[in-house]
Chain A
Amino acid sequence: MDLTRRQALALGSATLAIASLSGLPAFASLTDEAITALTGGADVTEGGIDLIAPEIAENGNTVPVEVSAPGAVEIALFAAGNPTPAVATFKFGPLAGSRSGSTRIRLAKTQQVVAIAKMEDGSFRKTSATVKVTIGGCGG
């Protein structure tokens, strides 16, 4: 079959669209479920929380991330593209010097890392960062 350049491009973009469509629902539901389990369905506002993650991680086995949210009692981290989205939850006690923490996490592929903070007044804050992963960190 002879394809003109124009046809080839159209085909390519159609395939891409289908791929992204089929990928999205699974991504949304797992992470959303985990977030709803944490918030109990309460509204989550953007901002008021910082998430520092590298833009590009060469090795998905150890990606350094840092979260801070002044006034938070709890910060939960989720990796939307991992087989299980939950990563870690920091709960701050009476002697926490600041509402921040850093750790190293595994990312299976290029994906969004989401941080949800539960504030002292019971409200929830959210932020996310996209991390490009060159080598995935879940084995296989």
Chain B
Amino acid sequence: MASGVKPRVKVPKKAAAGDVVTIKTLISHKMESGQRKGDDGALIPRSIINRFTADFNGQNVIDVTIEPAVSTNPYFQFEALVPEAGEFKFTWYDDDGSVYETAKKIAIG
């Protein structure tokens, strides 16, 4: 597991049923592209987050395939439909096989 990986997600606390809400996500990750050279002139091996998904109550909202050209601390903003109260689940997949997860509840009101 890469060190210092911390997901941060911004979801509104509540929404009306059927509303579209904006979600912002950021995960701290160095996203080593595999193109950079270290002090010794050797290439630093690639180590990135290669996939990000967001689901709401088990249904998919967005599924992003990530290449090395996405910046350090990958940030995504997108919109989601909220048909009922429930929980958003966010998942990031690292090159090294680790999976980072976080969840946010949203209420109807």
Contacts and interface: CB of A to CB of B under 8 A. Distances in A.
B98 interface: no
B66 A88 contact: yes
Given A79-B69, A140-B35, A101 B78 contact: yes
Interface in A123-140: 137-140
Range for the number of chain B residues in contact with chain A: 20 to 34
B63 A91 contact: yes
Contacts of B82: 95
A82 B36 CA distance: 13
Interface of A is mostly: strand
Given A87-B69, A104-B70, A138-B33, A97 B64 contact: no
A83 interface: yes
B70 A105 contact: yes
A98 B22 CA distance: 10
B64 A88 contact: yes
A107 B36 CA distance: 14
A127 B61 CA distance: 24
Interface of B: 20-22, 33, 35-37, 55-56, 59-72, 74-83
Interface of A: 61-63, 66, 79, 82-84, 86-98, 100-107, 137-140
20 contacts: A61-B71, A84-B69, A89-B64, A89-B65, A90-B63, A90-B64, A91-B62, A92-B62, A93-B59, A93-B61, A93-B63, A95-B55, A95-B80, A96-B78, A101-B77, A103-B64, A105-B69, A106-B68, A138-B36, A139-B36
